[in-house]
Amino acid sequence: MDRWAGRVALVTGASVGIGAAICRELVKHGMIVIGCARNDKQIEALSVELAGQAGSLVAFHCDLNDSDQIETLFATVREQFGGIDVCVNNAGLYFTGSLLNGDVEKWRTILNVNVLAVAHCAQLAIRSMRDRNVDEGQVINICSLSGHRVPPNPDVHFYAASKYAMTALTEGLRQELAAEPPTKIRVAQISPGLVQTEIAARAHNEPGRVMELGVEAKNIADAVLYILSTPPELQVHDILLRPTAQRT
């Protein structure tokens, strides 16, 4: 990880859960981390907690549902930090509701955050890496096992559709980057099963309650560190991981 110290990472959805855990690890390893979410006060609190570590965490407000806010975020980061070397597309959500009875406006939000914002941030991050001719750049998409199989739970069927789309985005980006050798920019994704976060509680309108089932968010952050630690000529494509006891 030493080669990433002092370089800039963007982590979306940094306020809680997996995103906050990724920020913690990247800051410990000396990166300048731009954490964004709607609840930027929570990121500021994490930043204070991490003061004294090798790197630093800077909080930005950004609602990924709004593409103008994404453009503003990247423009501000460029002005203040020069650009982005690592882009972790972590923010994601779902709402309860089946395909037969779900709310179309909620699906639109899922598509905006889980798919469109991911493609938008990846495009702007890669543009930033190329403009500065970086030695090495990395995009990491936090996908899901639901980007590989459809769980028998109607509440996550539309979410699974969004995560299958992410799987396609990751492979599409890989192909486009590989088509322009020698590319110094890699793309990878991580596909977790259950993780102890509040994603399900939020879907049920109970924010703040963390699921007891699942692996720890730090396990996902460790997978991010693994991807960044691999040699530049090695493309880690996707890491699937689940709790040992998870059946689906």
Residue number, 54 or 241, with CB nearest to ligand NAP: 241
* Least distance CB 230 / ligand NAP (angstroms): 21
| 123 touches ligand NAP by CB under 6 A | no
| 167 touches ligand NAP by CB under 6 A | no
| 106 touches ligand NAP by CB under 6 A | no
Residue number, 54 or 211, with CB nearest to ligand NAP: 211
Active site residue 226: no
x/- mask, ligand NAP, residues 26-45, rule CB under 6 A, reads -----------xxx------
* Least distance CB 114 / ligand NAP (angstroms): 6
| 63 touches ligand NAP by CB under 6 A | yes
x/- mask, ligand NAP, residues 127-156, rule CB under 6 A, reads ---------------x-x------------
* Least distance CB 66 / ligand NAP (angstroms): 8
What is the secondary structure of the chain as a DSSP string? Answer: -GGGTT-EEEEES-SSHHHHHHHHHHHHTT-EEEEEES-HHHHHHHHHHTTTSSSEEEEEE--TT-HHHHHHHHHHHHHHHS--SEEEE------S--TTT--HHHHHHHHIIIIIHHHHHHHHHHHHHHHTT-S-EEEEEE--GGGTS--S-GGGHHHHHHHHHHHHHHHHHHHHHHTSSS--EEEEEEEES-BSSSHHHHHTT-TTPPPSSSB-HHHHHHHHHHHHHS-TT----EEEE--TT---
| 115 touches ligand NAP by CB under 6 A | no
* Least distance CB 82 / ligand NAP (angstroms): 23
Which residues are part of the catalytic machinery?
159
